[in-house]
A = this chain, B = another copy of it.
Amino acid sequence: MKEIFAGSNNKVSPTNKIPDFRFSVSVDCVIFGYDNGVLKVLLIESDHPKFLGQWSLLGDVLKKEEDLDNASYRVLRERTGLDDMFLEQVKTFSAVDRHPDGRVITTAYLALVNVKNHQLKTIDNALHWHAVSEVSTLAFDHKLILETCLATLRKKIEDEPIIFNLLEKKFSLRDLQHLFEEILGKEFDRRNFRKKLFTTGMLIDENEMEVDVHHRPGKLYSFNKDAFKEHQ
């Protein structure tokens, strides 16, 4: 199996700026979704012989004519059918032994998608949403990558209004608060939470109410993209 990497160990270039060894490069996407009050991550059954029966992140190799952003975008598009999700580079993982077949460097991307907004490609029934809190082991170093991206997500939602990417266009304040609580693992005072969100100006009152809810329905809001004032 290691022989497929034979031939990549080449001569040093004349300018001595050119690498004397070439690497396989890939992207892996940590795709988060929020489904029925639970933060989930999209995983696929590993097709690598050494990790049969285990789950892994969605990834692909970088192609000759694309950059890493394009590659991660392509993975998302091919797998979920969406093409305007939040997507951001997080970190590159390069441990020497992270891939059993040889040196593969992978760049992790954080993706936030609205679970309701897309259909998983039905061909790919090896794809499933898993509750993040219940993921134990993953193929390769993907557990470490997942944890790194989760930590990044936790940090980022306190600074930047990216959390809305996980919700439907119109959402209730309860949805929003529960999502914050689910991601951060702590609870907020309902009244203070409302006040804070309103003062940021990021919420647009849609003048609609929740439906099919078994109690007093709440108002629906949408995210005001223009109110980016480094708020929240």
- Interchain CB contact under 8 A, A48 and B104: no
CA distance A67 to B93 in the complex (A): 8
- Interchain CB contact under 8 A, B26 and A19: yes
CA distance A69 to B69 in the complex (A): 22
Within 8 A of B (CB), among A154-184: none
Within 8 A of B (CB), among A13-56: 13, 15-26, 47-49
Shortest distance in angstroms between A230's beta carbon and chain B's nearest beta carbon?
Answer: 12
A80 in contact (CB, < 8 A): no
Residues of chain B contacted by A7 (CB below 8 angstroms) = 7, 10
CA distance A8 to B67 in the complex (A): 17
CA distance A66 to B23 in the complex (A): 12
Residues of chain B contacted by A17 (CB below 8 angstroms) = 47-48, 101
Shortest distance in angstroms between A118's beta carbon and chain B's nearest beta carbon?
Answer: 24
A105 in contact (CB, < 8 A): yes
CA distance A103 to B18 in the complex (A): 10
What is the copy number of this chain in the assembly?
A: 2
CA distance A62 to B18 in the complex (A): 10
- Interchain CB contact under 8 A, A62 and B94: yes
Find A21's partner among B21, B64, B94 (CB 8 Å cutoff). Answer: B64
CA distance A69 to B24 in the complex (A): 18
Shortest distance in angstroms between A144's beta carbon and chain B's nearest beta carbon?
Answer: 13
3 closest A-B pairs by beta carbon, nearest first, are: A19-B24, A22-B22, A19-B61
What 17 additional pairs, Cβ within 8 angstroms, besides A15-B101, A23-B23, A89-B91? A4-B13, A7-B10, A8-B10, A18-B24, A18-B104, A19-B104, A20-B61, A21-B61, A22-B24, A23-B24, A25-B94, A67-B95, A68-B92, A68-B94, A69-B94, A92-B107, A105-B105
